[in-house]
C-alpha cells in the first residue's frame, strides 16, 4: 500500500535573512551638579537613556525635557541631543546600531522621545532595560541573554509604533540612504581629497532624485539639513581623531575633507570654542559620548 503524507502544497523557497545588532557605549553611574553632555547625534543607531535617581535636563530635537527617576528617553538616529544636570543624578544609557533601515525609519517617524513611568511603553521597556543594565555588570553574563533583551526591546518598539501608524504610512528609506551617502563623504576619505562643493548635487544624482527632493525628505525625517548633518559628522569625527592622539592636525583636517588646515582650525574653534591642539591637550574625557563613523 502506498503511503501518503497528505501534504499537497508545492515546494516553496524563502529569502535568506541576516540581522546584525551592535550594542554600543553603555554607561552606568552618577554625575555631580553642573555636569553636561554637549550636543551630538548618533548615526544609524538609537539611544535609550534611563534616569535612576535625581533629575536631568534633556534637550532632544530642540525640545527640553525634565527627565526624572524611571523616565526613559528614546533618541532616534540622527537626532541632535544634549544633557545637563540640575543636581547630582544617576543614569544608565545604551546605544544600539541595527541594520534595519525600515525599523530605524519607524523610530524617526514616531518620535516617542520622553516616556514617563506611567507611559504604557515605559512599563514594557523598563524591565528589559534594567535586565540589560544588570547583565552588563556581570563579567560572565550570557551574550545570548543580553541580545535576547535587546531584540525584545526592538520588538516592543516596532509593535507599538506599527499599531499606532496609519496603514497607509509608507516605509520611505530614502532619508537613511542619503544619510549613508553623507557618512561616506567623511568615512571614505582619500588623503589629499577635499569634499567637493557640489557634493549634494552629485549625491542626489547617484540616488536618482533631484537635489530639492533629497533635501526635503532628509529635513522632514531628521529636522536638520544634509549640510548641517555633514557639519556635525565632521565635527564629531575630528574630535575622535584628535583624541586618538596619533594624527597631526593637518592629517585630521584632510581626513574629514578639508584641503586647507587653517580653514579647518577656524571651523573647529567655532564648533568647540578651542583650537584642535588645545582640545587634544585639555579635553581628553569629552568624547566618550560620541560614536565613531566606523565601529570596531
Cβ density class 192-215: b for 16+ within 10 Å, e for less: eeebeeebbeebbeeeebeeeebb
Whether 122 and 249 map to the same domain: the answer is no
- Which of the listed residues 95, 129, 164 is the one where a domain comes to its end? 164
Closest CA to 242 of 196, 199, 295, 279: 279
Quote the pLDDT of residue 286.
56
Whether 211 and 118 map to the same domain: the answer is no
Total number of domains constituting the chain: 2
Mean pLDDT of 168-177: 70
Quote the pLDDT of residue 74.
95
Query: pLDDT at residue 170 above 60?
Result: no
- Which of the listed residues 164, 184, 209 is the one where a domain comes to its end? 164
Whether 205 and 186 map to the same domain: the answer is yes
Whether 157 and 198 map to the same domain: the answer is no
Whether 148 and 62 map to the same domain: the answer is yes
Whether 28 and 107 map to the same domain: the answer is yes
Whether 201 and 257 map to the same domain: the answer is yes
CATH number of the domain residue 196 falls in: 1.10.10.60
Range among 96-105, 134-143, 149-158, 287-296 rated most confident: 149-158
Supply the range of the domain harboring residue 121. Answer: 21-164
Show the cell assigned to 141.
553574563
Mean pLDDT of 116-123: 95
User: What is the average pLDDT score of the chain?
Assistant: 86
Residue 5 forms part of a structural domain: no
Residue 291 forms part of a structural domain: no
Maximum C-alpha span of the chain: 89
Quote the pLDDT of residue 285.
57
Residue 69 forms part of a structural domain: yes
Whether 144 and 179 map to the same domain: the answer is no
Mean pLDDT of 155-161: 93
Residue 138 forms part of a structural domain: yes
Global confidence as pTM: 0.77
By mean pLDDT, which of 63-67, 164-168, 172-176, 217-221 is the weakest? Answer: 164-168
Residue 118 forms part of a structural domain: yes
Quote the pLDDT of residue 51.
97
Query: pLDDT at residue 187 above 50?
Result: yes
- Which of the listed residues 139, 164, 189 is the one where a domain comes to its end? 164
What percent of the chain has pLDDT above 70?
88
CATH number of the domain residue 105 falls in: 2.60.120.10
Residue 106 forms part of a structural domain: yes
Whether 27 and 154 map to the same domain: the answer is yes
Whether 181 and 106 map to the same domain: the answer is no
Query: pLDDT at residue 291 above 80?
Result: no
Task: Give the tens place of pLDDT for each residue, 136-152.
Answer: 999 888 899 999 999 99
Task: Give the pLDDT band (50/70/90) at residue 39.
Answer: confident
Whether 63 and 119 map to the same domain: the answer is yes
Whether 34 and 92 map to the same domain: the answer is yes
What percent of the chain has pLDDT above 90?
44
Amino acid at each position: 500500500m502506498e503511503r501518503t503524507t497528505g501534504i499537497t502544497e508545492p515546494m516553496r523557497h524563502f529569502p535568506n535573512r541576516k540581522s546584525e545588532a551592535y550594542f554600543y557605549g553603555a554607561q552606568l553611574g552618577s554625575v555631580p551638579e553642573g555636569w553636561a553632555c554637549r550636543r551630538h547625534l548618533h548615526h544609524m543607531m538609537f539611544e535609550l537613556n534611563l534616569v535612576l535617581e535625581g533629575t536631568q535636563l534633556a534637550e532632544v530635537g530642540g525640545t527640553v525635557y525634565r527627565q526624572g527617576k524611571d523616565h526613559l528617553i528614546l533618541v532616534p538616529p540622527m537626532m541632535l541631543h544634549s544633557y545637563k544636570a540640575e543636581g547630582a543624578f544617576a543614569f544608565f544609557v545604551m546605544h544600539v546600531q541595527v541594520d534595519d533601515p525600515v525599523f530605524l525609519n519607524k523610530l524617526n517617524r514616531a518620535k516617542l522621545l520622553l516616556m514617563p513611568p506611567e507611559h504604557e511603553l515605559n512599563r514594557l521597556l523598563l524591565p528589559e532595560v534594567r535586565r540589560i543594565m544588570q547583565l552588563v555588570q556581570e563579567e560572565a553574563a550570557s551574550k545570548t541573554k543580553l541580545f535576547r533583551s535587546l531584540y525584545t526591546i526592538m520588538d516592543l518598539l516596532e509593535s507599538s509604533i506599527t499599531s499606532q501608524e496609519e496603514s497607509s504610512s509608507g516605509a520611505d528609506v530614502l532619508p537613511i540612504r542619503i544619510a549613508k551617502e553623507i557618512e561616506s563623504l567623511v568615512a571614505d576619505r582619500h588623503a589629499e581629497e577635499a569634499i567637493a562643493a557640489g557634493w549634494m548635487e552629485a549625491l542626489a544624482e547617484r540616488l536618482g532624485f533631484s537635489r530639492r527632493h533629497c533635501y526635503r525628505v532628509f529635513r522632514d525625517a531628521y529636522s536638520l539639513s544634509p549640510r548641517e548633518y555633514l557639519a556635525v559628522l565632521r565635527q564629531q569625527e575630528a574630535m575622535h581623531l584628535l583624541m586618538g592622539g596619533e594624527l597631526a592636525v593637518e592629517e585630521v583636517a584632510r581626513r574629514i575633507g578639508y584641503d586647507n588646515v587653517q580653514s579647518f582650525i577656524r571651523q573647529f574653534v567655532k564648533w568647540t570654542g578651542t583650537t584642535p591642539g588645545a582640545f587634544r591637550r585639555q579635553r581628553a574625557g569629552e568624547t566618550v559620548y560620541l560614536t565613531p563613523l566606523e565601529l570596531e
